[in-house]
Amino acid sequence: MSDKAAEVQVPFQLQCSVNGELKTIAAPPSTRLLTILRDEMELTGTKRSCEIGRCGACMVLIDGRAVNSCLTMAYQCAGKQITTIEGLSANGLDPIQQAFLEEGGFQCGYCTPGMIVSVKSLLDDKPNPNVDEVAEALSGNICRCTGYGGIWRAVQRAIEGRRYWK
């Protein structure tokens, strides 16, 4: 083993960017990102629900890509850019959030932050997605209230809004 693989480990400190601010967080390396965001940083817009990556309520962006924070461990976030739902609205509502409001893309609202983060990841990658691409992008987000109709309308409005403002 190399020097880097020494038998004694120094206490882990997570260094990363959260919503544009550099952070150093003392935490066990296997701690879930979800725990760090909610319990340590009080960023409670990221929701705790299934905790096994099935529902998408805890979705965040890591280096711009949607990831389930309940499955992501602290050491996997070292040096990364993490964006939560709070980060999306740091300078006012994101157009995607506005689209969800205008189209009623929510009911109880618990899944909504995760939905919006997934849509943000999709539209940043593919500004003009087709129906299959939207369905695939949101396949990891579950809503138990809306029947998805309002969510589909909101995504469509967000797509059209980006086209209009481009």
Partner 1 sequence: MSMNVQETLTSPLVWHPQTAAEAWQYKQTYGIHSVFVAGGTLLRTHWESGAAPMPQHFIDLSAIRGLNEIRVGEEGLLIGGQSKLQECRTNPLLQRHFPMAVDAIRSIAAPSIRNLATIGGNIASIVGDSVPALLVYDASLIWYNGQTEQEEKLSDWLLAAGQSGYRNDRLLLSLKLPLKSETSRGDRDENSTNSKMKRFGAFHKVGRREAFTPSVVTAAVSGSITDTGLLNKIQIAVGGGQTIPRRLIEVEKEIVGTAVDGEMLRHLFDRALELYEPREDVFASASYRKQTAANLIVTELWKASGRFIGQGG
Instruction: Give me the least distance between CB of 66 and partner 1, in Å please.
Output: 4
Query: Among residues 7 and 164, whose Cβ is nearest to partner 1?
Result: 7
We find the least distance from the C-beta atom of residue 45 to partner 1, in angstroms, to be 16
Quote the least distance from Cβ 47 to partner 1, whole Å.
14
- Give the Cα separation of 99 and 116 in Å (integer): 10
Q: How far is the CB of 115 from partner 1 (least distance, A)?
A: 12
Residue among 2 and 91 whose Cβ is closer to partner 1? 2
Q: Name which of 75 and 104 has its Cβ closer to partner 1.
A: 75
* Nearest to partner 1 of 19, 31 (CB atom): 31
For the CB of residue 40, give the shortest distance to partner 1 in the complex, in Å.
Answer: 6
Interatomic CA distance for residues 21 and 148, integer angstroms: 34
| Interface positions with partner 1 (CB under 8 A) | 1-2, 4-5, 9, 12, 26-31, 35, 39-40, 42, 51-54, 56, 59, 62, 65-68, 70-73, 75-76, 118, 121, 135-137, 139-141
Closest by Cα among 107, 126, 105 to 115: 105
Instruction: Please report, for residues 6, 106, 151, 152, the alpha-carbon distance to residue 148 in angstroms, rounded to integers and kept in the order given.
Output: 51, 9, 5, 6
> Based on CB atoms, which residue is closest to partner 1, 27 or 159?
27
CA–CA dist 153, 156 (Å, integer): 5
CA dihedral 102, 105, 109, 111 (to 10 degrees): -140
The H-or-E segment that residue 149 falls in is: helix 149-165
